[in-house]
Amino acid sequence: MTIINCDNNNKKNDDDKNIILDKSVNFFQSILEKILIPRSVNSAGHETVRQYIKNTLRDLNSRWHIEEDVFRTRTPAGQVKFQNIIATYVPEFGCIRSKSSLKRTILACHYDSLKSSLVKGHNNTDINQVERFTGATDAAVSCSMMIYLAYTMNDHLEKHWLHHFNSNRTIQLNTLQLIFFDGEEIIRSEQNALRRNKRRYKSKSPQSDSLFGSKHLANKWEKITNKIHEQRKRFATLANMTNMKRSSRYLLCDGQDSISAKQRLIDIQNENQNKKKNGKITEVLIISPQDYHTIDGIQLFILFDLIGGSGSPRFYNTNLNTSQHFQQLIQIEKSYLQFNNEKKTAKSMSGGSNKVFFQQNPAFMVSFVRDDHLPFVIRNVPALHLIPHPFPRTWHSMDDNVDNLNFNSIGRFTNIMQLFLLNFFRPI
């Protein structure tokens, strides 16, 4: 397998704007090679990729908490087991007013691939055929990019939290969470798939035949959120009745090292005493992974799909409540292109890659694309659905493979996303 270099510019840049894909291009390619295998739900490749994603994220930094959301549900192919992967950057320390002020930004995509028997133009009637569809844009590139972004954001996230911790201010804090959804693609029994012969499968009820992972997780997190709200209401009533005073500020701890958190609390209180400050931090608040399982704690949900196809992709925003974030992507791309135009040689920018990706919306832009963001959007989560319009020409065909990826465009898209996240998690 040959993967083209992601970087179309001079590699010897010393400027911050070219931080990404310069030093670490091999890392990105090595991730993609591991994920670019057939990985339809519950296949051997699916298991391999899931383990690979979990292990790679675990190895990035000990602060990434990796978990699986495993469930079984009814599908047209009977009961099927699905496994979403969730990775959360859990800061060691921070100062927050309450658990409810703990927010997170989610990057998401799906890691399952479409069954080869459901791919466009497929005419093999042998149900024991070897799976061949690798779903390069759908969504191996997105998975690789998310792992890559987690890798590049490690140090920055640490500084982000440390800064807040040392500044002794209580503000709304935000961390990064990655979700790799399972079961985004349609599931269908092999018999039904064969019956359709050469026609591409179109589900009669796609609402019950895809998006299994995102539907399950959004529903689960909504229930957890409702339960927490109930508990808070009860606590508030109790506090009123007994005139209990709640601490105004907490030291946040991930629970892995509560002894050092308690020691840190004593240090802070001593420091404050010495400086004659009002020691506001009064308690250590242990954070568990469940505290990152709420719907209302999601500050922004960014879904990637069909990234990396040939040609110049165009992205539009169809969710009004995230237009400020999309405008920011437009601005970042603008300065990124300006910067590269100054640096580039005429030769290095070929293939129309200078066209703008992030577009101002046409007046009547409405998206009817069913994707993993929908179960969250209907629960009022602010979402950016980053999928190109139109879809890549290779969509759901055997041509959606490494040979038809556009690595210049992948490089630029990843750069823009990293700059966006750096800005999002900048110390305030």
The site for Zn ion (CB under 5 A) is made up of: 138
Nearer to Zn ion, 201 or 221 (CB): 201
Nearer to Zn ion, 7 or 372 (CB): 372
Q: At what angle do helices 141-167 and 44-60 cross, to 10 degrees?
A: 30
Cα 225 to Cα 19: distance, rounded to the nearest angstrom: 38
Contact indicator for 211, 177 with CB cutoff of 8 Å: no
Nearer to Zn ion, 96 or 179 (CB): 179
**Least distance (Å) from Zn ion to the CB of residue 187?**
12
User: Beta strand 173-181 with 298-304: parallel, antiparallel or unpaired?
Assistant: unpaired
**Least distance (Å) from Zn ion to the CB of residue 306?**
8
The terminus-to-terminus CA distance of the chain in angstroms comes to 44
**Least distance (Å) from Zn ion to the CB of residue 207?**
16
Q: At what angle do helices 44-60 and 25-35 cross, to 10 degrees?
A: 150
Contact indicator for 145, 164 with CB cutoff of 8 Å: no
Tokens read off for 240: 């009123």
- Report which residue's Cβ sits closest to Zn ion: 138
Tokens read off for 178: 């990655």
Instruction: Spell 376-388 as b/e; 16+ CB within 10 A means b.
Output: bbebebbbbbbbb
The DSSP element (H or E) to which 217 belongs, if any, is: helix 212-242
**Least distance (Å) from Zn ion to the CB of residue 386?**
15
**Least distance (Å) from Zn ion to the CB of residue 359?**
22
Contact indicator for 387, 315 with CB cutoff of 8 Å: yes
CB atoms inside a 10 Å sphere around CB 274: 8
Tokens read off for 82: 């699905």
**Least distance (Å) from Zn ion to the CB of residue 135?**
6
Cα 176 to Cα 199: distance, rounded to the nearest angstrom: 41
Nearer to Zn ion, 310 or 331 (CB): 310
Nearer to Zn ion, 92 or 371 (CB): 371
Tokens read off for 161: 């939290």
**Least distance (Å) from Zn ion to the CB of residue 206?**
12
Residue 205, phi then psi, degrees to nearest 5: -135, 75
Nearer to Zn ion, 282 or 397 (CB): 397
**Least distance (Å) from Zn ion to the CB of residue 143?**
13
Q: Is 353 helix (H, G, I), strand (E, B) or coil?
A: coil
Sign of the Cα pseudo-torsion (389, 394, 397, 398, in order): negative
Between vectors from CA 400 to CA 337 and to CA 383, what angle results, nearest 5°? 55
Sign of the Cα pseudo-torsion (251, 254, 255, 257, in order): negative
144, 327, 400 from 308: Cα distances, Å: 11, 21, 10
CB atoms inside a 10 Å sphere around CB 72: 10
**Least distance (Å) from Zn ion to the CB of residue 36?**
15
Nearer to Zn ion, 111 or 315 (CB): 111
**Least distance (Å) from Zn ion to the CB of residue 247?**
48
**Least distance (Å) from Zn ion to the CB of residue 42?**
17
Peptide bond into 139 cis (omega under 30): yes
Nearer to Zn ion, 42 or 168 (CB): 42
